[in-house]
A and B are shown apart, each in its own frame.
Chain A
Amino acid sequence: MPGLAHFPDRPRPTQPRPVPRRGRVRWSTWGYGLREGWLGFRRNGLMTVAAVSTTAVALVALASSLLALWNLRVLADAVDSQLVAVVYLQEDVGPRQREAVQQAVRSLRGVRAVQMVPRDEALRRLERVLGGVSLRDALRANPLPDTLEVRPERPADLPELAQALRQLPGVADVTYGADVADRVLGATGLVRWAGLGGALGLAGVAAVVSYNALRLTILARRREIEIMRLVGATASFIRWPFLVEGTLHGLAGGLVACALSLGIYGVAVTHLARTWPFLPLVPWDRAALPLLGVVLGAGVVVGLVGSAASVARYVRL
């Protein structure tokens, strides 16, 4: 074998040599990539700090939007389940017609339950809400009409149901908690667009910072890269350490963001629960794990996108 006498263990040159296939990285390669990625992460000092902290800021925005959305969702569900349509009957409706209206309401589609609230009962409730004043003494006659409380099968169908109820004979007016439901839904929309939009924008910034940090690493290691190219290292072998470094940016930023947002959320939940015990909240221990997963995942994606862009731009093969 010409030229190879001094390498007795080398395969014959005419045989194709084993090249690690794309995507099938050897164990030693993994170890190398992790080690070099970690080294780059530590060596880059200020750039690493910048990349990690911008990622963390973006992910805090993401985490707080998600927590807010989740809580609004829980709140909206709680409000929904309490929503009823209130049917005000006309003044001149007698007991028999009252019964007929109640029957008609019951036969409507989408109605789960109907409860009659006579005008006397309505007045008593009002007195209770106002703190035990005796309205009967102040008013000569009860000004309240008889009402029916209609509980719908699905809260979302309320507007339609109200429309149908208005058509019934003997009905003066129908109201439902439209404004409350609409307000909760409106807040959800606002948080979704402002919060997630902001988080997305900040994630873009974080990816750009990671991209620049990686550019420095690539510059610092350009000799190694050049030699690896020349001796025939595969593309994945050369790129892998840089992707590791980018992923570390994302993971570190994600951990910082989780610590911050979950810490603040823990304090907030404790306080809110004490101040407004009736407020439905997502408990801390139920929120922690899903949030950790989503935020770390998003961090890894941000770091990977930034570093992959940098590698594509600056590592020539």
Chain B
Amino acid sequence: MALIELDGVTKVYPNGRVALRDVSLSIEEGEFVFVVGPTGTGKSTLLRLLYRDEAPTRGRVHVAGFEVHRLRPGAVPRLRRELGVVFQDFKLLPNRTVFENVAFALWAVGTPAEWVPGRVRASLELVGLADRADAFPHELSGGEQQRVSIARALANGPRILLADEPTGNLDPDTSWEIVKLLSRINLRGTTVVMTTHNKTVVDVLRRRVVEMNDGRVVRDEVRGRYARPGALP
């Protein structure tokens, strides 16, 4: 069993919109996967099924040994502790410092208080923000804010990092910084799944590319580009 495995997954939202149609996908531990495709083709839904924000309508979802498609509500927190999630809008707490934002994640899962400062510092060092621990989010640039949210996602030492358009709000240079950081995190062994519209990043990095269209996986290449060879730009 791969670290992440989807088998014939269909997701229909209560309003009748079909977000995923019979998707099967397998991701091994340590992989770096780009999920690309036009807006509204089910990329975000795919990630939301993985951290059990949504349940699949049909099909099976396995993540880190959890049978996500039939997970008891009480077991959902355990699944989510194996995952870190990063979003386009960072989702930082505006009235708390960088340190507190990262510490919040640790302390929300009941980490013993004496472990918290060390873990927060390790996380912030990993993203290169150890010296900004006392700053508030509004005092940071967009790229720095995203690095804080990555530090928070990593604080619990998850096996998988899910990033939903993490560079969507950032300029090209900053986007590169973030992607290089994610790449470095991947090299340390964390599996990374990232949805993106950033063609340059995908084409330069040449990692596994899963392309989605209208709720289906239409392409899955090991060292892919953003677009299909020969497709119109």
Residues of A within 8 A of B (CB): 1-7, 9-10, 13, 16-20, 22, 26, 28-29, 32, 223-224, 226-235, 237, 317
Interface residues on B, range: 35 or more
Chain B, residue nearest A228 (CB): B108
- The minimal Cβ–Cβ distance linking B189 to chain A, given in whole angstroms, is 2
Known: A4-B189, A9-B115. A19 touches B157 (CB 8 A): no
How long is the Cα–Cα vector from A228 to B85 in the complex, in angstroms? 12
List 22 A-B residue pairs with CB atoms under 8 Å apart, sorted by A's residue number: A3-B157, A3-B188, A4-B157, A6-B126, A9-B118, A13-B82, A17-B78, A18-B110, A19-B77, A19-B78, A19-B110, A28-B107, A223-B91, A228-B108, A229-B80, A230-B80, A231-B105, A231-B152, A231-B155, A232-B83, A232-B108, A233-B109
How long is the Cα–Cα vector from A32 to B93 in the complex, in angstroms? 17
Assess whether A235 is in contact with B73, with CB atoms less than 8 Å apart: yes
Assess whether B79 is in contact with A232, with CB atoms less than 8 Å apart: yes
Known: A227-B108, A230-B51. A2 touches B30 (CB 8 A): yes
List, in ascending order, chain A residues with CB within 8 A of B157's CB. Answer: 3-4, 7, 10, 13
Assess whether A3 is in contact with B189, with CB atoms less than 8 Å apart: yes
Known: A2-B30, A7-B157, A227-B93. A235 touches B107 (CB 8 A): no
How long is the Cα–Cα vector from A223 to B104 in the complex, in angstroms? 12
Assess whether A9 is in contact with B119, with CB atoms less than 8 Å apart: yes
List, in ascending order, chain A residues with CB within 8 A of B130's CB. Answer: none
List, in ascending order, chain A residues with CB within 8 A of B190's CB. Answer: 2-3
Assess whether B91 is in contact with A226, with CB atoms less than 8 Å apart: yes
- The minimal Cβ–Cβ distance linking A187 to chain B, given in whole angstroms, is 52
Q: Mark B42-76, 1 if CB is under 8 A from A, else 0.
A: 00000000010000000000000000000001101
Partner pick for A233 among B73, B77, B79, B82, CB 8 A cutoff = B77
